[in-house]
Amino acid sequence: MSKEKAAARVRELRALIEHHNRRYYVLDSPEISDFDYDSLMRELLTLEALNPELASPDSPTQRVGALPLKTFSPMPHRVPMLSIDNAMNEAELRDFDGRVRKLLERDEVTYCCEPKFDGLAVELLYRGGVLVTGGTRGDGYTGEDVTPNLRTVKSIPLRIGGERPPELLEVRGEVVMYRKSFQELNRERSEQGEALFANPRNAAAGSLRQLDSRITAGRDLSFFAYGVSDAAALEASSQYAVLERLGGLGFRVNPEVRICKGIDEAMKFAISVQEKREALPFEIDGVVIKVDGIRDQDELGIKARSPRWALAYKFPPTQAVTVVREILVQVGRTGVLTPVAALEPVKVGGVTVSRATLHNLDEVRRKDVRKGDTVIIQRAGDVIPEIVSPVLSKRTGEEPEFAMPGACPVCGAPVIRDQGEEEEGGGQGIMFRCVNISCPAVVREQIFHFASKDALDIEGLGRKIIDKLMDKGLVKNAADLYTLTREDLLGVEGFAELSAANLLASLDRSRRTTLQRFLYGLGIPHVGTVAARDLAGHFRSLEQLTEAKAEEIEAVRGVGGVMAQAIRGFFDRGENRAVIGRLFELGLEVEPPRAGTPGDTSLSGKKFCFTGTLSRMTRSEAKEEVQSRGGNVVDSVSKSLDYLVAGAEAGSKLDRARSLGVAVLTEEDFLSMIGGV
């Protein structure tokens, strides 16, 4: 290919890839399969490698991360990034409205309202439509330059859309981590013996402040734009118009934005957001209320460190008080010891909580939690129970300080100390790990993971059953599951003819699985369900993946250097290869992903949601069918949903879909749509 043709093709590929990045990461409406996307990216990587002079900072290949920095440089803000005053109740919100109306000499003011993300505020500087610099808010006047890390966030445009972008545009917004991604990250860090993040906000902050941007690239971060430093750059006369213009330039903006006529409407909106707070996929801690008109904002002006035209109405935290009965120590799948507080059961946000993780020894010491303490607990992100602090005034002096055991509480083997990595929000954690790879707790968790719903989906194989099988010496690893016989099971306490037959039937069904499920079930460090899907779609077979070099693995979308090394290391271990080989000898069959079928984009851009019980397939299998055809699966019902698939005993989602006019499909309708799988 000539230099001219290579340059033209590079420009074409970059435009295509950024278009599909926006469809996938901003609009949640992909148009092509992961396999086709990976093919475009591989072609671009090859052309840029063969033609280094075509390298460009706005190329999508730059999202994989750069070499580590020694430190962050300061980033001054041309226009200060001011903080916003808080209102903790309705009275304070009405006081704010009264001040605004008085200064503007109005009877009623129009407000632009949106949920307040609990993430990390950043500013992105674009010149001529190209991302030049990005940094944190810092003290409002000077932040930290984290440009290499922000380039890896796929919902941030490296080049903004439009024929005539502003010569200078400073976009403000929030970097957040979705709750599912946060839970997956903490699960992986726990398995690897790394310090856990306390909440999604700390996870987002810690991920964005990595000196090695390749680590950031491996984290699932999202960016939502909420404003600009100067509305004139967008020729916008209102805050709502600013958000609309940003959306048109390729930025993701909060879909829950509302224009409210007067403070009564704003208050009603805040209450409605608070009521559905737990159903949102990301963490919020309130609602931001801004005077909508830009001229009105200018007239109101600013105080020392905050604008007079904006207020954050903060939601009350979901907390309760209870007593720590005991601090237990659990052993995970990789041998990591995790302290867990056993609590007097108490209701928090409508859910009864009896346990709360303490993450690691550093966390216990930092909070100084002890057996017998009265403690304040909350559901972090309204989901994960955590201890906020002990109530020291209730302490009697009899409460013992916690110490990690010197021997594994399950097998009695020695415990070693591992130094965790230092990250904002995660802290520098000293991890304790059982050195016995045959520890029953480790093996049990490995087998349980292999049998889990998103892996081999072996129904009826819970931890208690696995314990009984291990006690009898029938199972020592996942492959042993497929050697079990009727006679073996009938010799185990609790099994009768029917239960034995059911488990054997479930094991037999699981012998035929997909590559995505198998990769997830292997328990490879850092590989969750999303990474397993991306790896399966890219390599198409287990053989291709096991033979790939770390550099080839790192080229897969969403896979960073740390994950690539972990995958390569997993397949390099002889004991892992032995178990995999034995699984295939015992009849396991792994199907290649359907996503690679040429032209299979029949559901491209369509959003599906599932409710109720499906009889012909599991939810996970149905999700795979949609994604393999270019569609997307979401957890909630909204006006933007294309189809709700309702199985038996469908719940409130069905009522909401009907009220919104969303098309409702039966399971048979869905099967007919995808070709009767």
**What residues are annotated to the active site?**
116
Asked if 408 and 338 touch (Cβ cutoff 8 Å), the reply is no
DSSP 437: T
DSSP string, 128-197: TTEEEEEEE-TTSSEEEE-HHHHTT-TTS-SB--SSS--SEEEEEEEEE--HHHHHHHHHHHHHTTPPPP
323 to each of 79, 352, 361, 392, how far by Cα in Å?
48, 14, 19, 12
Residue 440 to residue 537: CA distance in whole angstroms: 34
219 to each of 45, 155, 204, 441, 631, how far by Cα in Å?
21, 13, 9, 28, 23
Six-digit token string for 474: 């029938």
Asked if 212 and 61 touch (Cβ cutoff 8 Å), the reply is no
Residue 268 to residue 257: CA distance in whole angstroms: 13
Q: Are strands 632-633 and 607-611 parallel, antiparallel or unpaired?
A: parallel
Residue 588 to residue 518: CA distance in whole angstroms: 10
User: CB atoms < 10 A from the CB of 483, how many?
Assistant: 12
What Rg value do the Cα atoms of the chain yield, rounded?
27
Residue 169 to residue 124: CA distance in whole angstroms: 8
Asked if 172 and 121 touch (Cβ cutoff 8 Å), the reply is yes
85-96 CB burial, b ≥16 within 10 A, e <16: eebeeeeebeeb
Cα angle at 134 between 133 and 140, to 5 degrees?
120
Asked if 503 and 482 touch (Cβ cutoff 8 Å), the reply is no
Q: Label residue 164 exposed, middle or buried (CB < 10 Å: 0-12, 13-18, 19+).
A: exposed
Q: Which residues contact 582 (CB under 8 A, 6 or more apart)?
A: 479
| Helix/strand/coil for 91 | helix
Q: Which of 218, 206, 85 is nearest to 146 (CA)?
A: 206
Q: Which of 603, 607, 604, 524 is nearest to 559 (CA)?
A: 524
Asked if 535 and 545 touch (Cβ cutoff 8 Å), the reply is yes
449 to each of 280, 433, 443, 445, how far by Cα in Å?
27, 19, 10, 6
Q: Which residues contact 505 (CB under 8 A, 6 or more apart)?
A: none
Six-digit token string for 310: 């904006």
Six-digit token string for 361: 């020894």
β-partners of residue 172 are 123, 227
Q: Label residue 440 exposed, middle or buried (CB < 10 Å: 0-12, 13-18, 19+).
A: middle
Residue 203 to residue 209: CA distance in whole angstroms: 10
Q: Label residue 403 exposed, middle or buried (CB < 10 Å: 0-12, 13-18, 19+).
A: exposed
Residue holding tokens 């859910």?
Answer: 351
657 to each of 331, 449, 625, how far by Cα in Å?
43, 34, 22
Residue 168 to residue 368: CA distance in whole angstroms: 49
Asked if 380 and 359 touch (Cβ cutoff 8 Å), the reply is no
Six-digit token string for 145: 């330059």
